[in-house]
Amino acid sequence: MKLPRGFITILALYVFIHHMEALEVGGPTQELINSICAETVDYELCKEIIHKHLDTKTMNLFDLTHLIFRIATEHASDTYVFIGNILREHPDPEETTGLNTCLTAYTDETSTFLKVRHEFCQEDYERMIIDILSTRKILKRCRTDFQIPLNKKKLLIEKGRVMKILINMSAVSGYMVKNGNGYLLSSVVTEPCFFNDVDQVKALLDKNTQQRVDAICKQTIDNKFCKGIFAKKLVTSSPSIKDLMNVTVTEAERNSAKTYFFISTLLRDAGDERSGLQKCADAYAIVNIAFTDAVSFFNKGLYGEILKLTGKLSKGVGICKTDFNVPGYHINPMVEKNRETKVLVAMEEIIGHMVSS
């Protein structure tokens, strides 16, 4: 039975947009959105995706590109979770081979878009474009010619179609940034770059907030590192619990993505120690996805779901052993990376209970 054309669009919106309220924009911002979406295969869906994720009425090209990359990362991660759920429900041998291939493909999609976001913030636009284009080949590895329930297959196919559109959107906006469309970049950036490491002015916290931060950080294995995150990232003296959670999930995702990228650079010259580093790369692929999911759950107000990720995160970090040598380092740098990640996992769990209560 052939589905009506309109049904496919409705299905796509249901799969991707999660019934969020769109923010109406106009003027230069809308013209910029139109110019990006005009180059995609589904103009209307492209506009819907962007509108449903806008949190301000005025954005420039830099802001929109950053937003599109984040949406693409989250969609790849959400699809990975969707496929994993199918595997648990239908572990038949005839289905698992194709599903596992798709699971690996969307793991690679997520990791590559995390890398793209890093390159974007480092202004390495040449490499950024190369990596965006590589995601097209990665996605092709996920074929859907295997037997799974029809309703699940339709959703998986539609998720793949949305992923293609997001890749297209990323390439279009990425090329616009790379080609130096200065008049589109000239407004003030409304969102800090995801991987921006420039020290920010420390917030002077009020007494109650400082006591709350102290109580949280004392429960972690590194009180100083924990406090440092809040001191550097909080921008108000009286943040709410949700503000603390927002800082935590955002910093956790940023930190894990940087760690994954750091491991990938070490692997280039790993030599005999490649096995240990590869296990750490596999570990932080899991950690990256879980932390990205945490950001997505936070944005949807699903705080209880964040708590369910802590076990997966701890298990992921545990895969990365540090009983091997790394060329150029007297002490294995993954000791420090794992410690920071464990602190961030603990912070998410502690504050997650506070938000959920």
Query: pLDDT tens string for the chain (357 positions)?
Result: 344 444 344 344 444 444 444 556 667 888 889 989 988 888 999 999 999 888 777 888 888 898 899 899 889 988 888 888 888 776 666 667 888 888 889 988 988 888 888 888 778 888 999 999 999 999 999 988 887 888 888 999 999 999 999 999 999 999 988 886 533 433 333 334 433 332 333 446 788 888 999 999 999 999 888 998 888 888 778 889 999 999 999 999 988 888 888 888 888 777 777 889 999 999 998 998 899 899 989 988 999 999 999 888 999 899 999 998 888 787 888 999 999 999 999 999 999 999 887
Q: Are 225 and 343 in contact (CB under 8 A)?
A: yes
Q: Are 343 and 226 in contact (CB under 8 A)?
A: yes
Counting every residue written for the chain, the total comes to: 357
The contacts of residue 130 (CB under 8 Å, 6+ apart) are: none
* pLDDT for position 93: 62
Structure letter (DSSP) for residue 89: H
**Cα–Cα distance measured from residue 46 to residue 156, given in angstroms and rounded to the nearest whole number:** 19
C-alpha dihedral sign at 121, 122, 126, 131: negative
* pLDDT for position 245: 94
Q: Are 43 and 12 in contact (CB under 8 A)?
A: no
Q: Which amino acid is at 183?
A: Y
Selection from 209, 189, 211, 206 nearest residue 198 by Cα: 189
Q: At what angle do helices 334-356 and 303-319 cross, to 10 degrees?
A: 160
Q: CA of 78: how far to CAs of 82, 84, 103, 167, 204, in Å?
A: 6, 10, 11, 15, 37
Q: Which residue has the tokens 């052993």?
A: 321
Residue ranges and CATH numbers for the domains of the chain are 5-185 (1.20.140.40), 207-356 (1.20.140.40)
**Cα–Cα distance measured from residue 128 to residue 15, given in angstroms and rounded to the nearest whole number:** 27
Region class of 316: left (phi > 0), else alpha (psi between -120 and 50), else beta: alpha
